[in-house]
Amino acid sequence: MEDAKLLFNGKEYSLPVIEGTECEHGLDISQLRAQSGAITLDSGYGNTGSCKSAITFIDGEKGILHYRGYPIEELARKSNFVEVSFLLIYGHLPSKQELDNFRNQLTYHSLIHEDMKKFFEGFPRTAHPMGVLSAMVASLSAFYPDTDYQTDVNLNVIRLLAKLKTIVAFSYKKSIGQPYIYPQNHLSFTADLIHMLFAVPTEPYEVPKVLEDALDLLLILHADHEQNCSTSTVRMAGSSQANLFATISAGINALWGPLHGGANQEVLEMLENIRQDGSDYQKYINQAKDKKSGFKLMGFGHRVYKNFDPRARILKEAADKGLSQLGVNDPLLDIAKNLERVALEDSFFVERKLYPNVDFYSGIIYRAMNIPTNMFTVMFALGRLPGWIAQWKEMRDDPGTRIYRPRQIYTGKVNQKYIPVEKR
């Protein structure tokens, strides 16, 4: 394709056009500053591609999501979280032998160092589990240093994938004052997590298949989502060649915010408020439309999707099915469906192309599973881990990677003269 032309300050600059495998186009501005002295300005990065990536493809206008070329709907129906993790990180669906080997490694690395239990003891019971999670992940670097990227990285990737679910479960047990339950090697990855969350040492606990399937689906749907806020944070922190654990810990912190992964907790709290306020959902729709109210319909809208988030579609169906299988009749599901129905017909939401996102229905399923609200974002982090690792590895393995270092347009004061403090 012909280069794009840019006219600036009386000169013409050629910008090569980069085409992706799904035919999306980008203008390569990598030489722009060197040639013209100007930079581009794109607050919030809505028009900026920060990398080329072969991991995840999203078409936000059409509501399409693919991992490594496979549609999310197909993976959700036919695959499982461990296989999807392998696919994202290593780039292909594993052979039977590769999958068995990967699964065994995730099983046999799931214990955490006994000394790490002392860290859990140091946190107050009221600590938000996302804070605990990020601190514990960063602390893994003290036990498993990666002195050499080439030799240590593969093992540390396995360790992190295997141990995160143990850390997740231990932080939950800590928050409710119950004894930690150790991983069980005979259980699947997801069943083991459920066992560590809900079993107690005093009696046997059999993991309900319906819970295992529902949680596995949630983890698959959260596994990657190209260059979102937390993934970009992972690439940004990782570009300094910080170790894997420090890098992922940075991503966990970015995910925590209510505009990103923290939205699932906010959605549930919003639905609960609406219920307690007499289930008058129209009042909340009106508030969301009133900019002065500062209220947003949590779980609605997305930077990239200007159509249904395909994950929300899958989760809406899963919420209906899962709740009836679990025998749960949750009034919040009805409120959520009513909000969605009314919002999708309202011109404010239609004009702005605001649709439910992945967080809108995920919380209702977590709640039906008895996972407490403040653990929702932690479950999201566990699901997103293979995506973060895949994106980090892609960046580190690319010989062309440079440290991420955006520029800025300075708008502050100029030519200030220093005045000694006694004269100010």
Would you name the residues annotated as active-site residues? 302, 359
Q: How far apart are CA 220 and CA 47, in angstroms?
A: 28
Cα 359 to its chain centre, rounded Å, is 11
Interface with ligand ACO, residue 259, by CB under 6 A: yes
Give the 3-state secondary structure of residue 48. Answer: coil
The count of chain residues that interact with ligand ACO, using the rule CB under 6 A, is 18
H-assigned helices in 96-208: 96-108, 116-122, 129-143, 149-176, 189-198
Strands 11-15, 4-8: pairing kind: antiparallel
Nearest to 36 by CA among 2, 69, 81, 6: 6
Burial class, 64, CB count within 10 angstroms (exposed 0-12 / middle 13-18 / buried 19+): middle
Decide whether 296 or 337 has the Cβ nearer to ligand ACO: 296
Q: Which of 173, 195, 260, 316 binds ligand ACO (CB under 6 A)?
A: 260
Q: Please choose, out of 22-30, 121-129, 254-262, 406-414, the segment that lies near ligand ACO by the rule CB under 6 A.
A: 254-262
Contact predicate 308/244, CB 8 Å: no
Interface with ligand ACO, residue 285, by CB under 6 A: no
Interface with ligand ACO, residue 315, by CB under 6 A: no
Residue 25 tokens read as 């186009």
Give the 3-state secondary structure of residue 211. Answer: helix
Interface with ligand ACO, residue 321, by CB under 6 A: no
Interface with ligand ACO, residue 281, by CB under 6 A: no
Residues counted in the chain: 424
Q: Which of 192, 224, 340, 359 binds ligand ACO (CB under 6 A)?
A: 359
Q: Please choose, out of 83-91, 259-267, 317-325, 406-414, the segment that lies near ligand ACO by the rule CB under 6 A.
A: 259-267
Q: Please choose, out of 167-175, 209-217, 290-298, 410-418, the segment that lies near ligand ACO by the rule CB under 6 A.
A: 290-298
Q: Please choose, out of 94-102, 180-188, 253-261, 321-329, the segment that lies near ligand ACO by the rule CB under 6 A.
A: 253-261
Nearest to 156 by CA among 416, 407, 335, 392: 392
Interface with ligand ACO, residue 310, by CB under 6 A: no
Decide whether 299 or 387 has the Cβ nearer to ligand ACO: 299
Interface with ligand ACO, residue 283, by CB under 6 A: no
Rg value, the chain, Cα: 23
Interface with ligand ACO, residue 284, by CB under 6 A: no
Interacting residues with ligand ACO (CB under 6 A): 259-261, 263, 288, 296-303, 352, 354, 357-359
